[in-house]
Every structure is written in C-alpha cells, then in structure tokens.
Structure 1
Amino acid sequence: MLNYKQLHHFWAVAKAGSIVRASERLNLTPQTLSGQIGLLEESLGVALFLRVGRRLELTETGRLTLSYADEIFQVGNELEEALRSYPESHFISFRVGVDDAVPKSIAYRLLTPAMALADPVRIVCREDKLVRLLVELAIQRLDLVLADRPMPAETNVKGYSHKLGDCGITFFAEPRLAAQFKQAWPHILDSAPMLIPGKEAAVRIPLMRWFDAQQLRPRIVGEFDDSALMQAFGQAGIGIFIAPSVIADEVQREHGVTIIGQTDDVTEQFYAISMERRLTHPAVVAINDTAHRKLFANLYPGSTHKANRQN
C-alpha cells in the first residue's frame, strides 16, 4: 500500500526544488527527508529524481507522480475545509455540475426545489463543459449533471439521462432594434443581425436548419457559449437573440427586450444525468418532480401554460 507520509515528503521536495529547502519547511533533517524519498522509490520500484549537479530534477515518472500527488493533497485540503465548516445540524450534501450551455435562469429554476427540502441541503454548484462534468460524475465528485442533451453515446461513462422537459425558443430584440424591422414573422429575421449559441449548444444545429427551412439568412454577428453573455449583448442592441420559451417572460422583464417571435419547430431540451437508473437522492428527486409539475408543465395533460408567439 502506498505510504502517504512518504508521498507527502516527495511532494514537498518536488515543490520546494531541493531537499534542503523542503527540510526547512517540514522541520526535518535533510537526511531524514532523503531517506523517506528513498524508501518511497524502493516501494514503487522507480526513480523519482535525478541529480543534476547540485540540483534535483524530476524523472518522467516523478512528474507523473507529482501530478497525482497534487490532486491527492488538494482533495485532502478540501476534506479538511469541509470538516471545519461542517455544521452542528445535519445537512444533505448535493454536488451538481451545470453544462455551460444551460441558461443560468433554467439552472436556477431547476435547482431551487432542492433548497426547499425538509432536511437542510448544502449545494455545491460547478459550471463547465459537459465532457469534463461527466468525468467528475464518473469518479463520484458530482451527484448530478444538468445538460441540454442526453449523455453522448460515445462517452465512456456509465450513466443515465433523465429528461426533465423541453420547450420551443423565443426571439428577442432591444426595443429600438426591434422597431427597425417591419416584415412579418419570421421574415423579420432575414438579413437581421443575429446572436446565436456557440457550437457546443445542442440547439445550435436545429436552429441553423430551421433558418434554412424557412429560407432565412440572418446576419450572424456573434456566437456565445454563455447564454447570459449573449443576452447582455442582445440587451445592448447588438443583435436578435434566443432563449427557451419557458423563461420568455423573465428574459423580457429582466433585460427590457421585446419578443419578436417564437417557434416550436426548434426546441431546447434539458436533462438530469446521474450514475443511477432510478433517482434516489432527495435533491435530485425534488428537481425532477418540480421540472415535470411546474417548469415544463405545458408538456403534460392539464397544463395551462401558453408560450408567447407572433405569427
């Protein structure tokens, strides 16, 4: 079994650049430190350092070992911090990754029910590219990933995609920009300045196909991985932009923009990706239930939600 004390001594020397400097920081003699590293190399059966003159340089194996040691001790520091801040009352830890293609408003609405459980929940939310979040999910650093697509088939991660809902898209423009266009919907988009989601967004390809089907040639003036940044540019009047119809009223109110049209021929989908086939984590169950009963209720019988639309 790996001796973590010896690994820490190796890590300290690699970071300090010399045994003498590391021994001063660890309050150990250089002889003790050198002996510990020798024992580690012997147990691993590899050389971790090469002596070049008076300097120590990492071998290729040493650099690999250092990368793992960095991660091991970072996780150790996170554990210490988590234990120091652990409250006296019990709480449920909920670690969720949000694909950066998911609008922040949608993510907020999906995650809010988890904070309303009877047992207190501490949420740790991380935003990144989907592929990196799935790696974190696979090694159990995350309990859930929110994404705008199901788990890609080519991903070498065993997980399950739970559809939360979908909706059409709505087109917005700053009022003075909207007033410049007199054509009927959807021809208003032809040759108009357009802000579109980046290539990582699942809605990108269906949107471009819809433009072709409608024989529309908008003038693409910006592409954005971050939907919030796209909305900021749209609010400034740089171009027309889209958002999921389920949050159309909120986007219009918060950004002071005008709805110029809507289509259900292009949809945005949202998924909860987990390592479990059946949802059992109480926070995940709350998210799933609320998504179906409230946020995307228009997809189910008895719904009264109507999306804004101009024809």
Structure 2
Amino acid sequence: MNPDHRAGHVAVIGRPNVGKSTLTNALVGAKVSIVSPRPQTTRHRLLGIATFPEGQLVLVDTPGLHRDQGASTASAMHRWMNRAARGALAGVDVALLVVRAGQWDEADTFAYEALRGAGLPVILVVNQVDRLKDKTVLLPYLGKISEGRDFAGVHPISALKRKGLEALVKDVLQHLPAQEALFGEDEITDKSQRFLAGEMVREQLMRQLGEELPYATTVEVESFAVDGSMLRIGAVIWVERDGQKAIVIGKGGERLREIGTKARQQMERLFDAKVFLETWVRVREGWSDDEAALRTFGYHD
C-alpha cells in the first residue's frame, strides 16, 4: 500500500441549484449526475468516483438540502429528497458546502449548521466566481461569510469552466484516510446504466419543460437490453394528469421526439454505444405524493 494514497467519501451539500452536480461531474470527468437550470433537478443520492494519482474521492451528490416543511405540507417527493440529502452525511469523511458566489442566505446557513451538527469538517466551495462582474467584491464576501464559521478550507471555483479544481482536490485529499482506492480506476459511479438512462430522459424533461411541469414528471426504464453493439432502451415518462401528458407529447409528438433525440445522444456519449430509445407517456394521478408510487419508481432509501 502506498502510505501517501488517500481515499474516502465526500458529501457534496448545499441548497438547491448552486452547481453541486456540475461540480461532481467536473471532478469525475464524466456526466454521472444530470444538470438543468431548475432547482431540485437531482432527486437521488448517487456516488461519483473521481480517481487521481494521489487518491480517490467518492463524491456523494445529493438533492438540495432545505428545511422540512412538515409532514402536513411537504409532498412525499419533497420528504424523500430531504431524507436522501441528510442520509448522505452518514459515513462520510468530509463535506463540501457549495454556495453561489456573492450569495449567502438562510438556506446556506441551514446547510452549514446541518453539516457542523453532523461533526464533519466542512470545506466551503464558492462556485460560479466567473459570473462575478466585479471581482473586487470576492475577498470581502469570503471574509464576511467565513466570519464565525469554522471552515476547514475555502475555495473559489468555477465548476463549469473547471477553474480552481486542482487546489480543491488537493485540500480534500488531506481530510481523507490513508488507504487504497475504494473503487476500480475505471469506475465512475455506483449507479447502473439503466438508472443513468432514465436520468438522461428526465434531464431533458427538466430542461425543456421545467417551467410548465417542474416536478410532475418522473421516468421509469421498463426495458434495457444489449443487442450486439446496440443498447435497446424503453422508457416511460410518468405524469400526474392528462393535460400534462399532452404537454410532454407536444403538437404532433414533436416535443416527445425532441426529448428522446437529445436523451439518446447523451446516452450514446456516456455509454460509448449506439442506442435505440423508445419513449411513452403515461398518467398516474398524484404519484409525487404517494409513497408506494415513489418506491415503484425507484425512490427508496
């Protein structure tokens, strides 16, 4: 064993839509977590495995961490995502608190306090610094949000442009135990190709219909078969009402074809294989507030 090699689990935490999945993908070097401009695009806890000569980061990407609304007002989906985010804190060695440059509000404070309450070292990752028009505000901003908070490190980065990641990785590795890699060098996630295929379809739904159907859709992969050099995939898009089904399909089926085409292209890049993708839209009323339906669609602890 190389005594200098380090490996461990790293929680990627923050309020919704600050770039947690973009950061995970940038560190892994492949798209393992879907990304869209819509808050709460990430619904599942998944591992992104980033392997470097000096060590291995097992990144736990999570849904955005936010305050519980209470059982009477929060949907079953909302409660599930909060459980997934909080569950990510179990068994990790260090946490990355991701915030958007120039911003800090009660939601960021809540996420920080949740991490400190779990007894974890917290490295502050200030993302999207490239979007700050006036760079002179960065240092005063960092000083203000660090005051009274015990950060193990502070790193201004741009995950999208891959700026500042080398120093971040070096810092994170110092907080991980000295041990051999936990996963193989060629592994990038703990999720199956079947799961990732469903997420690629859902990403296109979020990107193209986020304003019209923010959380009323989910995707179930009914079939996934290897046919020679081709993958044959059948995916069902579930909605909650007939009117939503019509929106997803679009005039003459145009929107559904566009969703399928872009999802297929993403799959082919990720899987490095030809993909034949079929999609259908079906209705299940109230699925997002039905615990049994959520389990059927793969939302389980």
TM range (shorter): under 0.3
- Higher helix content, 1 or 2: 1
The alignment's TM-score, normalised by the length of structure 1, stands at: 0.23
Question: Which structure has the greater CA radius of gyration?
Answer: 1
The alignment's TM-score, normalised by the length of structure 2, stands at: 0.24
